[in-house]
C-alpha cells in the first residue's frame, strides 16, 4: 500500500483556468479524497448591486460571467419585471430567447474545444473555436458586442432585429448544423475520444440528484431536468424542443449531451425566427420598483441559474442573490474525483464547464483553532476588525460609528 500524500492543486495552477483550490489526498496516482475551497474570486457583486440602481445593476450583473452574461442579466431582469408586474411584448421575449440560444451555441462550442484541449485533442479546439466565431459575429451584429451583449432592458430588449439579420442567422444555422453533425460523428465514432472519456468522472443518477447537479452534468446522468421545459420563461413556452438526456453518467455522456443540445438549439433558433411576431420590443419601466420580492430561474448553458431580488420601493434593490450553476455542480466534482487517477482531474473539472468567478458569492469564516462556526453580528465584526488592526498597529477606534 503506497503512502498517502496530500497535494494542493491551485489556487494558481497550470491545469486550472481560474483560481480555485483543490486539496487532493493521493495514494499513488489514485485520488482518495478531494476537498474544494472556493472564495479566491469574490468580487462583492451582490453588495455592489444594493448600492446601484436597477439600470446599473443590469450591466453589473451581466459582467458576473463573460460566457453566460446574457443568462445573468435575463435572470435578473425577469425577477425585476415580476416585481414591477411588467408585461414584456412578445417580440422582445423572442429576441431575448434568440440571444439566449445563440449564447448556448457559443458556450457549448467553447466547451467542446476546451474539453478537446484537456484531453490533448487540440485539433478539436481549433475546429470548434473556428465555428464559434460564426456565432460570435452573429451576436456582435445583433447586439453590438461580442460579449456582454447589453441587449436586455427592464421591460424588454434594447435592439430590434432586422429581416436581413434573420436571413443571415438562418444561413449561419445551416453551416453550423453541418459542422455539428461532423462533431457528433467524431464524438460517437472516434475511438480515442470514447476510450479517453468513458468511465471518467462517473456520477450516478442517484448521486446527481443527491448532490444537486444541474444542467448538462445532471442530464448526462439521466436526470431529466431543464428549466426551459419545466418552468418556461421568455418564449420557450411556445417552442417545441427535446430535452437531451444520456445514461453514460460520465464525461463522455456530458460530451454527447452538449453536442446534441447544439442541434436542439439550432432547431429552437429556426423556430424563433420563423415565428417572430411583429410589434414593440419593450415597455417603459418605472425607475422606482415597488416593494416586493421575486425568484427567477433560467437555464444557462451550464445549468440552472437562480436570482433572487428583493425591492423596497426605491431605485435600488434591497437584496440581490445570485446562485450560479457552477455552485450547484461543484460538490459533484469532489465526488467525481474520488477513486480516479490524478491525470483525469483536469477533464473531470472541465466537464462541468466551471466558472469560479461566477460562483464566488460569499465566504464562510471558520475558526480552525476552536473548530466552531458561528454567525457574527455587525457590531461584533466591527469590534473584531478594530482589535485586529490594533494588533497591527493601526487604530481605527476613533472613526465615526456606523
Q: Among residues 133 and 230, whose Cβ is nearest to other proteins?
A: 133
Q: Among residues 143 and 221, whose Cβ is nearest to other proteins?
A: 143
Q: Among residues 22 and 76, whose Cβ is nearest to other proteins?
A: 76
Write out the residues near other proteins by the rule CB under 8 A: 52-53, 55-60, 63, 130, 133, 140-145, 148, 150, 153, 158-159
Q: Among residues 63 and 179, whose Cβ is nearest to other proteins?
A: 63
Q: How far is the CB of 192 from other proteins (least distance, A)?
A: 13
Q: How far is the CB of 281 from other proteins (least distance, A)?
A: 12
For the chain, first and last CA: distance in Å? 59
Q: How far is the CB of 298 from other proteins (least distance, A)?
A: 20
Strand arrangement of the beta sheet that strand 292-300 belongs to: 292-300, 303-311, 317-323
Close Cβ partners of 75 (under 8 Å, ≥ 6 residues apart): 296, 297, 298, 300, 305, 306, 307
Q: How far is the CB of 128 from other proteins (least distance, A)?
A: 14
Within 13 Å and on the Cβ side, how many CA atoms surround 328?
21
Q: Among residues 207 and 315, whose Cβ is nearest to other proteins?
A: 315
Supply 220's cell numbers. 448526462
Q: Among residues 145 and 192, whose Cβ is nearest to other proteins?
A: 145
Supply 257's cell numbers. 449531451
CA 237 – CA 232 distance, rounded (Å) = 5
Q: How far is the CB of 55 from other proteins (least distance, A)?
A: 5
Q: How far is the CB of 168 from other proteins (least distance, A)?
A: 12
Amino acid at each position: 500500500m503506497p503512502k498517502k500524500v496530500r497535494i494542493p492543486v491551485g489556487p494558481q495552477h497550470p491545469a486550472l483556468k481560474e483560481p480555485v483550490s483543490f486539496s487532493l489526498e493521493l495514494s499513488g496516482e489514485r485520488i482518495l479524497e478531494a476537498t474544494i475551497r472556493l472564495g479566491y474570486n469574490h468580487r462583492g457583486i451582490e453588495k455592489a448591486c444594493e448600492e446601484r440602481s436597477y439600470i446599473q445593476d443590469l450591466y453589473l450583473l451581466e459582467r458576473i460571467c463573460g460566457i453566460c452574461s446574457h443568462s445573468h442579466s435575463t435572470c435578473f431582469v425577469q425577477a425585476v419585471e415580476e416585481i414591477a408586474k411588467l408585461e414584456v411584448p412578445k417580440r422582445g421575449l423572442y429576441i431575448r430567447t434568440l440571444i439566449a440560444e445563440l449564447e448556448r451555441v457559443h458556450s457549448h462550442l467553447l466547451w467542446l474545444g476546451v474539453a478537446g484541449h484537456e484531453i490533448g485533442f487540440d485539433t478539436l479546439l481549433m475546429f470548434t473555436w473556428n465555428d464559434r466565431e460564426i456565432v460570435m459575429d452573429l451576436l456582435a451584429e445583433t447586439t453590438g458586442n461580442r460579449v456582454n451583449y447589453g441587449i436586455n432592458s427592464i421591460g424588454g430588449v434594447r435592439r430590434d432585429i432586422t429581416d436581413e439579420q434573420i436571413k443571415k442567422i438562418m444561413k449561419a444555422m445551416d453551416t453550423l448544423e453541418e459542422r455539428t453533425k461532423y462533431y457528433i460523428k467524431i464524438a460517437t465514432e472516434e475511438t480515442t475520444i470514447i476510450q479517453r472519456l468513458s468511465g471518467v468522472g462517473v456520477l450516478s443518477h442517484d448521486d446527481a440528484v443527491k448532490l444537486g447537479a444541474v444542467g448538462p452534468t445532471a442530464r448526462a446522468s439521466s436526470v431529466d431536468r431543464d428549466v426551459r421545459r419545466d418552468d418556461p420563461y421568455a418564449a420557450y413556452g411556445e417552442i417545441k424542443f427535446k430535452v437531451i438526456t444520456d445514461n453514460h453518467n460520465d464525461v463522455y455522456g456530458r460530451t454527447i449531451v452538449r453536442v446534441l443540445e447544439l442541434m436542439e438549439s439550432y432547431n429552437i433558433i429556426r423556430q424563433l425566427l420563423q415565428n417572430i411576431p411583429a410589434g414593440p420590443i419593450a415597455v417603459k419601466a418605472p425607475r422606482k420598483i415597488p416593494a416586493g420580492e421575486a425568484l427567477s430561474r433560467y437555464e444557462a448553458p451550464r445549468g440552472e441559474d437562480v436570482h433572487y431580488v428583493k425591492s423596497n420601493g426605491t431605485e435600488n434593490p434591497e437584496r440581490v442573490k445570485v446562485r450560479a450553476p457552477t455552485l450547484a455542480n461543484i460538490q459533484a466534482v469532489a465526488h467525481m474525483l474520488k477513486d480516479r487517477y490524478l491525470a483525469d482531474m483536469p477533464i473531470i473539472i472541465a466537464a462541468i464547464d466551471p466558472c469560479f468567478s461566477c460562483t464566488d458569492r460569499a465566504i464562510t469564516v471558520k475558526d480552525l483553532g476552536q473548530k466552531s462556526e458561528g454567525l457574527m453580528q455587525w457590531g461584533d465584526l466591527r469590534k473584531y476588525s478594530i482589535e485586529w488592526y490594533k494588533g497591527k498597529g493601526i487604530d481605527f477606534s476613533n472613526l465615526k460609528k456606523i
